[in-house]
Amino acid sequence: MNFEESKILQNLPKQFFASLVKKVNDKVATGADVINLGQGNPDQPTPDFIVKAMQEQTAIPANHKYSQFRGDPELKRAAANFYQREYGVSLDPDKEIAILGGSKIGLVELPFAILNPGDTMLLPDPGYPDYLSGVALAQVKLELMALREENDFLPDYSSLDPQIVDAAKLMYLNYPNNPTGAVATPEFYSQTVAFAQKNHIGVVQDFAYGAIGFDGKKPVSFLQTPGAKDVGIEMDTFSKSYNMAGWRIGFAAGNADMIEAINLIQDHLFVSVFPAIQKAAVTALNSDQASVHQLVALYEKRRNQFFKAARAIGWEPYQSGGSFYAWMPVPKGYTSESFADLLLEKAAVAVAPGTGFGKGGEGFVRVGLLIDEPRFTEACERIAKLNLFQ
């Protein structure tokens, strides 16, 4: 017997990163020394104290049983304490925190937890490609909010079609931003809360890169904004702050109704996360964050090194304020994809074409700050030989 995939699965977007990885692997297979600037996978190890906590917790028999539905209360309390300590935000651990097996799960499941088929949601363009998975699975309508350099890659709510705004029930934001590296301001978040309240739109702020801010500026939490909990939530992950990408642990914080919807759908899909991972996450949140500060300093050093090397060949970057990405313009005569293909073929340098993040990414490529500093210089030296920037 043959079994066809459901129409829902057939409508899922193609995995952009899978095709990018294949191109890079094909080039490596030729024997080329590829400098991979296209990846988004943290390259540093999980801090030793978190690994040790995990090892200790894994040896405890009680942690081998089923996890508690809706997450370990100790982790919820640690998340609430973290927000109070780091951002001055008060959260009820029981009603305003949901534990996630990585923030991607929350971002993908939320649309079909609080929307109905045919409802409308707003997504940033360019934006994280996996947001589209939630749109397809929930069978909702998608409208895009353009992120433009002249507006520091923040959406301009006044430019949105009033009919679209009237139909919209949910919107996603992501600052510090993937792929641009842009950061949000308190003023922008105040505008967002006012816009959401006026138009009855729920807000989801993807705070995956929340710890990574440059030039002495700590990224702002959406929940610091007066009224934010009335209109939305923030999604946090341990992947970037603590180099725990493979551990798959995160949490959502904020609006109690959205948190309950997440908990309810997860009651049916999961039995939370392996208890030892949750205990290790508590250790991470309760730490003095020295490892995070060291990591941010490393990324800032890499950003500055790459910017210096790029500018030396006439390649002027967007001045990113956070995340571990650089958003780089494409030279005249090329599309994002043709430029990325050229760099891989002729210079053995891999970058992510901006169109992988939406139509609004055309004209840019994304560079990951996830290799050692000398390789940035080498990559730019290779690119310089192509005489693309005069």
Find the CATH number of the domain harbouring 269: 3.40.640.10
Question: Are 280 and 318 part of one and the same domain?
Answer: no
Instruction: Confirm whether 196 is domain-assigned.
Output: yes
Confidence of residue 371 (pLDDT cuts 50, 70, 90): very high
Question: Are 16 and 97 part of one and the same domain?
Answer: no
Of the chain, the percentage scoring pLDDT greater than 90 comes to 94
Last residue of a domain, one of 256, 286, 316: 286
**Burial class (CB within 10 angstroms; exposed 0-12, middle 13-18, buried 19+) of 243:** buried
Residue 266 has pLDDT above 90, yes or no: yes
Question: Are 176 and 269 part of one and the same domain?
Answer: yes
Instruction: Confirm whether 60 is domain-assigned.
Output: no
Question: Are 184 and 304 part of one and the same domain?
Answer: no
Question: Are 340 and 267 part of one and the same domain?
Answer: no
Question: Are 167 and 243 part of one and the same domain?
Answer: yes
Instruction: Confirm whether 254 is domain-assigned.
Output: yes
SS (H, E, C) the chain: CCCCCCHHHHCCCCCHHHHHHHHHHHHHHCCCCCEECCCCCCCCCCCHHHHHHHHHHHCCHHHHCCCCCCCCHHHHHHHHHHHHHHHCCCCCCCCCEEEECCHHHHHHHCHHHHCCCCCEEEEEECCCCCHHHHHHHHCCEEEEEECCHHHCCCCCHHHCCHHHHHHEEEEEEECCCCCCCCCCCHHHHHHHHHHHHHHCCEEEEECCCCCCECCCCCCCCHHHCCCHHHHEEEEEEHHHHCCCHHHCCEEEEECHHHHHHHHHHHHHHCCCCCHHHHHHHHHHHHCCCHHHHHHHHHHHHHHHHHHHHHHHCCCCCCCCCECCEEEEECCCCCCHHHHHHHHHHHHCEECEEHHHHCHHHCCEEEEECCCCHHHHHHHHHHHHCCCCCC
Residue 265 has pLDDT above 80, yes or no: yes
Confidence of residue 271 (pLDDT cuts 50, 70, 90): confident
Question: Are 208 and 72 part of one and the same domain?
Answer: yes
Model pLDDT for residues 233-252, shown as the tens digit of each residue? 999 999 999 999 999 999 99
Question: Are 268 and 343 part of one and the same domain?
Answer: no
Instruction: Confirm whether 389 is domain-assigned.
Output: no
Question: Are 71 and 196 part of one and the same domain?
Answer: yes
- Count structural domains, the chain: 2
pLDDT for res 155: 98
Instruction: Confirm whether 18 is domain-assigned.
Output: yes
| Average pLDDT of the residues in 91-107 | 97
Question: Are 239 and 122 part of one and the same domain?
Answer: yes
CATH of the domain at 320: 3.90.1150.10
Model pLDDT for residues 290-334, shown as the tens digit of each residue? 999 999 999 999 999 999 999 999 999 999 999 999 999 999 999
Question: Are 124 and 164 part of one and the same domain?
Answer: yes
Identify the domain containing residue 180 by its residue range. Answer: 65-286
